[in-house]
Each structure stands twice: as structure tokens, then as C-alpha cells.
Chain A
Amino acid sequence: MPILGAVTGEGFAAVLAAAQAGSEPAFSQLWRDGNPALLRYLRVLAPEAAEDIAAETWVQVVRGLPGFRGDERAWRAWLFTISRRRVLDERRRRSRRPVIPLDDLPETRLPDVSDTADLAVEHLSTRAVLALLAGLPPLQAEVILLRVVAGLDTESVARMVDRSPGAVRVAAHRGLRRLAQIVAQDGVTI
């Protein structure tokens, strides 16, 4: 049963108002709803700093929470927009000083793109799908994540990635077809 996307549902407005008023359970509910999707998104876009970027995203969310206005879809778009900007900042910082401490990273956090077939044969779990997504072109992977994991519609994704809705639709379809092709060729069932 899919649990990501529109978890809070009808009571989102009340939960958001309580969190803005300072209710810790309400904020915890928002965090539990958003953080898994955020981490899945970040583990494809910035696998080396996904947890750090997620923490920075939530710091900024806490800072801007009193001034946020909107429904649940706007909330998720805001959350992932903040995260995407932090990813771009991190990429810029790493391009200036390319330091990759490989010893500090556990192997399980590294997306192994070359052995995707082995991963798929072994067990096609969420992490394996994320590894498959990391092998796609960046735009296709990001669009699929924003559509599926974040639960955003095509227009919101197009605004976030600064592309036209048609380009977003084409990228999502191509990426999903490519993923289905990989899974079908390996003969894997989940």
C-alpha cells in the first residue's frame, strides 16, 4: 500500500495551523510525512550528502513555517523546492572544492550504477529502484521522483525544474519506460 503522498489528507490545514502555532506533535506529523520522501529524493540527487541536506531543509522549513500559506500540494512543492536549492548549493560548493571522503561513506549509501542488473536480480527494493533511477539522465530521474515520491503534478514539477510541462511529461515517460525495460530484461518481479 503506497503511503507516500497526500498522507495527511483532509486534515492537513489543521495540522499545519497547529504546527505554525508551535505544536510539536503537529510538526512531527509533518516531518514524518515529508522526510522519507525527501530522503528518497535526495539519495538520488545528492547521495553523498542526503542526510545533511535533509537536515538543512528542515531547518529552513522551521524558520519559514510561520509565514507559509497554502494547501498540502503547495506545502510539498515548498519542501522540495527548498531541498532542491540546497542540492544546487551543495553541488556548487563541491565543484569549488571537490573533496570526496570515500572512507567515511558506507558502501550501502553509494548508488552502484554499474551493477544495477545484479541489484535488480537480488531484490528490487526501494533502494534498488533508487539506484536504478540514479543511472537515468538527471532530468528524467528528478522528474520521476518529483512526480512519484513527492506527489507533485506536472505543472508544479515544470515550475521547479524550469522546463515546460510537455518536456516534463516526455522526460517522465522516457525515464519510466527505461526503468520498466531494465526490470523486464532482468526478469525480476517484486
Chain B
Amino acid sequence: MPNLPWPARRDVSAISDASLAALLSGLTPEDQSAGVQPAADVIAALRAAPAADELDGEALALAEFRSRRAGAPGPAQRARRARAARRGRPARRPSRMPARAAAAAAFAAIGAGGLATAAYAGVLPAPIQRFAHAAILAPAARATSIRADHPAAAGCQAPGRSGSASAAPARDTRPASALGMSASPAGAAPGRSAGLCRRATARPARRHVHRAGCWPAVPSPAPRPGASGSAAPRPGPTVRMHRPAADGPRPFRSCAAFWWRSHGQRRHWFPVMRPVPGRGSRPAGWQVPRPGKTSGHITSGPGSGAGAPSSSKPVQSHPNNPPSRQ
């Protein structure tokens, strides 16, 4: 054994691990040395016979057992509730609803809430939407598609979609041929519905002619000659707009549409850089349009009241800045 300069460990005990394990397990250790005796005495004291004060609460426990068997709250429970009442807190009672029932109720509540939200957003399938309309006054179901040969196509509009001008034909359930739509489709419905009728009858091969939520009235760049419904060409700019003038509230087709209608149409959402030709000594460059100054360069059609463009290069108008608001 090397002669180490430091002393041996002080915590090395005379009691071996085997003796301690035997003592803890309630056995008599083989090592009966003097070092084991104190540990055996400690364990014997811990396992001594119960004192009188350790058996005091037997009557209370039996009363609790008896009352529990009878179904009434026992003395310990009553004392606990009394203590809780003294502390100003309601006593904690055992829940009568099992955990599974509570989870099922929470799941049903969340599902019902989501269903109601979807119903008020009008995005449910038509039968469910009709049921929601009848049950919780959600918006009515809208037709998702109208076939060209469907009687509803005679009116060329969906209920509540084309405004008041074409509301009456929508309730006409006669077939299109009875209204003369196949012979003269554009003449059957006035105004904007005429364009839809043209589209509905011009492409009979398509199964779904138009969605009820679509706006069919994208103005045609050149009116079809001979069309009687919109015989007089509308004067105005020939800019192809993504959105016609709204004549009534429209539902949103998607979240993107909602965002676009509520945020995207702000005129000054962000500064629009537009090319400005050079004036005098200033070179041509980019300039932020100032409010009150006309800097748009919109190609105007005949009869347009917009200002004359100062540049020869037309600028396509952006939906953010529709020319009708200038």
C-alpha cells in the first residue's frame, strides 16, 4: 500500500453495506460488531410498538368509513369543509362529472362553436348551411353552382347576388328555353346579368357555368355587336378593372378576399412610386404622388372626364388606386 501523504477517508464506517441492507430489510446481520449495534437500535426504535397517541383517531376513521359506505359526507370531510369555509374558500368537493364526460362536453362545445362560426361565415355545405339558417339564423345557403341548363340560369344570377335589378328573374323557375334565353340570351336579363347570360350560354360544354359568388360583370372591352341587353356602350375608361362597382353587399369568397376588401383598397396603404418625366432641368425619375395633385396617367377612353395625360406612356391602374376615386 503506498504511503499517501493525506489521511484516510473519515466517512468510512465500520458498518458494512451488507449489514446495513440486512438491517433495513428487517433481518439480523451476520456482523455483530460493536459498530452495528447503534444502527440496530435505531431501527428497533423505529419499529417499536405503537404508542397510545398513535391510535387515537380510530373512531374518527371508522366514522368516515361508515358514512362513506352510507353515502353521506363523513366527519373528516365535514371538518375539511368547515376549515375551508373559515378560510373563505369554498370547500373542494369531488367532481360529479367524470373526466371522460367533461372531456366530451368540452370537445362538443368547441365543435359547436366552430360549426356556428363556420355557419355565420357561410362556408358550410349547402344542406348544413340551410339547417344552420333555419336553426340559428345563419346566412342562407348560396348555390354553389348553376348548370347552364338549370332553370336558375334563366335568371342568370344567384339569389341575393345580382342586386335588386335582377332579383325577380331569380325566382322564375321556368326553363331557359321558355324565356327565350337560348335564342337571345343577352336580351333576357337586363344590365349586368346580361353578361352572365352570355357567358352561361356561350360555353354550354362547361358543366359549371359560373359560381354563384363570382362577379360576372367584368366589362367587355368591346361590346358585342347586336347585343340588345347592353346595346349602348358605357362611356368611361377602358381600364379593365378587377372589381366592378358594387351595388350591394357581397359576401367574401375567401380570407384573402376579406383582407383585400378591408385593407387592400386603401388609397395610401403604401406610397406608390410612379414615373415622372423630367420637367425642365430636372431629370426624369420616381416621385411619390402628393395628395391633391393629379399624377395618374390613366388611359382614358372617349368621353372620359379624367385629366389629360402628360406623358405618352400609359400606366396601368392598380386596384389599390382605382381611377373612379380620383
Contact = CB atoms under 8 A, between A and B. Distances in A.
Interface in A154-190: 169, 172-173, 176-177, 179-181, 183-184, 189-190
A137 interface: no
Interface string A15-52: 00000001010011001100110011000000000010
Given A31-B58, A126-B51, A177-B15, A58 B76 contact: yes
Contact of A124 (B41, B55, B61): B41
B17 interface: yes
Contacts of A189: 41
B288 interface: no
A105 interface: no
Interface in A38-87: 39-40, 51, 54-56, 58-59, 62-63
Interface residues of B, number: 42
Given A35-B57, A54-B57, A151-B26, A180 B44 contact: no
Interface residues of A, number: 50
Nearest to A54: B57
Contact of A62 (B38, B45, B55, B68): B68
A149 interface: yes
A36 B20 contact: no
Contact of A176 (B23, B55, B65): B23
Contact of B74 (A62, A176, A179): A62
B48 A2 contact: yes
Nearest to A109: B53
Contact of B62 (A24, A177, A184): A24
Contact of B50 (A36, A51, A133, A144): A36
A31 B57 CA distance: 9
Interface string A118-135: 000000111011101100
A172 B43 CA distance: 12
Contacts, number: 137
B129 to A, nearest CB: 48
8 contacts: A3-B48, A35-B55, A51-B57, A59-B80, A147-B24, A148-B24, A169-B21, A180-B15
Interface of B: 11, 13, 15, 17, 20-21, 23-26, 35-36, 38-39, 41-51, 54-55, 57-58, 60-62, 64-66, 68-69, 74, 76-77, 80, 94
Task: Give the 7 A-B residue pairs with the shortest CB-CB distance, closest first.
Answer: A36-B50, A2-B47, A180-B39, A180-B38, A183-B38, A36-B54, A129-B45
Interface of A: 1-5, 22, 24, 27-28, 31-32, 35-36, 39-40, 51, 54-56, 58-59, 62-63, 124-126, 128-130, 132-133, 144-145, 147-149, 151, 153, 169, 172-173, 176-177, 179-181, 183-184, 189-190
